[in-house]
Structure 1
Amino acid sequence: MSKNVRLTLACGEYESVRALLDGTVEVDGVDLTILTDMDSATRHWRFLRNNEFDIAEVSASSYLAARDRDWPVRAIPVFLHRRFRHGFMFINTGKGISKPADLRGKRIGVKTLMTTAVLWMRGILQEHYGVPLDSIEWFAELDDDVQLTADVKVSRLPDNKSVETMLAEGELDAVFHADIIKPFLAGDPRVGRLFPDHKAEEMAYFQKTGIFPIMHVTGIRKEIADAYPWLAVNLFRALNAAKATAMKRMANPRIVPLAWYRAAWEEQQAVLGPDPWEYGLTEKNRRNLETLVGYSHGQGLIRRRLTPDDLFLNVDQGRKRGGEYRI
């Protein structure tokens, strides 16, 4: 009978965790039950509000707010999901919106203001395009994972309203969303992107800032982290090993049914570097997280400017330790 600790991990079914899912990589000292059959918004709520999982991939924005309010949750600097966000700003094509400045005074829909994707988009809109967020009327579809502070202004939509439908029908001028919205996927001519060439905009953003936006962190219930102080390091090592296995596998161009997959892989390396998905509190990740904290604080979602070291459990094994074993 196993003497390992039995824990649950809820996360997306990503290539970067496949080695954990199939047992190729294990967390030393842990028997993991891994749960992947839920969407991100549901997983975040069930982890933060219902405390259903010991470990979970969780919204970075919601995690910041939870820590700001001293909720019993901690995290390690493993970022299973990142995404550039310029391509997720959608507009109604009949409203005369052709550039970011045209969003001043408009009605914009979101799933929630605390969605990490929305936090990034709002921050980018204000910092890099000069659009004041308080000039916009915001409408949210869902309740936030962590309750907003009283001075954050947003209108809640009733259950029978969808921001995607409202955009297509002209009730909203724009929608900022974590996913590609259904009207756009369906080719509805009433809906388009704010940045038609979003890839070029995102590449320019990266060249200017060095930021490949972090969306999610890996959360751990505080009581679990306290009970097993070795867990943070062992989990960090296992997730790094799983990612390394994934990257080695994905180097094979036959693995993905895309004609120019290898060209896309090489382009990513040329623009973003050899490991844009790096874990840990590296210099790049610190800048990324500090920007996210700044946006969250500036938008009134958190009251304190938490530092990366405040936010994450220590996974340092000591200088020149944790690598190759020598006898």
Structure 2
Amino acid sequence: MTAALWFRITLKDLHGVEAKDNVWYNGRTKSLSHGGALGLHNNGPAGVTHHWLTVDQTLDVMLDRGEIDACTAIRPQARVTAGDTTVVDRWGGTPIDGNPRLMKLLDDDGKGVVYEFYRKTGCFQANHHVIVQNRILKEHPWVALELYKAFQRSKEVAYERAWRAQSAYLFFPGKDFGEQAAIFGDDPYPLGVRAMGKTVERAIRGSMEQGLLRRPLRLEDIYYRTTLNT
């Protein structure tokens, strides 16, 4: 999960905490996890202790019992889904609000950490890529750049709408465009290799540091040649 990758990168870059310094629990079962699909249970990160939860375990219950010290995200649901093999992020029914055994670590929902990380590294904590199969690019090499242009234009339209509905434009709840722009500039969701290359390279290094990659990748190994100048 990309969020977990950036979480560990942030711990390292801001506080010097390595991935191997903690024991990690994946809240998803092996069968419904990105790591399970990639076979990390057979050849996982060297030196990093990692566990998948069973279908009957949930992060909220483990946190409430003191079986784990912290959790990046808990999403209460309308019903208890522990034991349900069809649910990706299961919920054990633990009361959150007013629970004396639980404490919110970041009162600002992580806003200060995200801002500090960008100030120090110049990297966004970006998630997800659009992937095009090589067979399609071989037959239709124009596809990659046209997809980039389409997403760029759709972002511009979204920005125009966001000025009328500010919360859609902001990373965190609030209405202060100036505060966010002072950190990230007027384009908080940049696209293209030039704008995001540094971020992708940090994600690659982080994957190497955390044992998720066996060899480094170059940007030209990832992005199609027609998009390298975007």
Provide the residue aligned with 1:123 in structure 2: 9
For the residues of structure 2 that align with 1:223 and 1:184, how far apart are their CA atoms? Answer: 50
Q: What secondary structure, in the 3-state scheme, does the structure 2 residue paired with 1:219 have?
A: coil
For the residues of structure 2 that align with 1:130 and 1:160, how far apart are their CA atoms? Answer: 34
Structure number with the higher helix fraction is 2
Runs of 5+ unmatched residues, structure 1: 1-114, 320-327
User: Per-residue CA shift, 1:266-323, capped at 9, x if unaligned?
Assistant: 32222210112111011x411111111011011111111102221112344989xxxx
Q: What secondary structure, in the 3-state scheme, does the structure 1 residue paired with 2:130 have?
A: strand
The equivalent position to 1:190 in structure 2, one of 85, 91, 101, is 101
Q: By how many angstroms is 1:262 displaced?
A: 8.1
CA change 1:132–1:249 in 2 (3 A) is closer
Q: Percent identity?
A: 28
Provide the residue aligned with 2:29 in structure 1: 142
Aligned 8 A contact 1:225 1:231 in 2: yes
Provide the residue aligned with 2:63 in structure 1: 167
TM-score normalized by structure 1?
0.54
Provide the residue aligned with 1:221 in structure 2: 133
Root-mean-square deviation (Å):
2.8
For the residues of structure 1 that align with 2:150 and 2:98, how far apart are their CA atoms? Answer: 42
For the residues of structure 1 that align with 2:6 and 2:159, how far apart are their CA atoms? Answer: 26
Structure number with the higher strand fraction is 1
Q: By how many angstroms is 1:190 displaced?
A: 2.6
For the residues of structure 2 that align with 1:206 and 1:135, how far apart are their CA atoms? Answer: 23
What does 1:234-253 correspond to in 2, within 5 Å? 234-253=146-165
CA change 1:121–1:254 in 2 (3 A) is closer
**Residue identity matched to 1:250:** A
**Residue identity matched to 1:221:** Q
**Residue identity matched to 1:231:** V
Aligned 8 A contact 1:233 1:315 in 2: yes
**Residue identity matched to 1:172:** I
Runs of 5+ unmatched residues, structure 2: 77-93
How many residue pairs end up in the alignment?
199
Q: What secondary structure, in the 3-state scheme, does the structure 1 residue paired with 2:132 have?
A: strand
For the residues of structure 2 that align with 1:255 and 1:193, how far apart are their CA atoms? Answer: 23
* More contact order relative to length (CA 8 Å, sep ≥ 6): 1
CA change 1:130–1:215 in 2 (3 A) is same
Q: By how many angstroms is 1:185 displaced?
A: 6.2
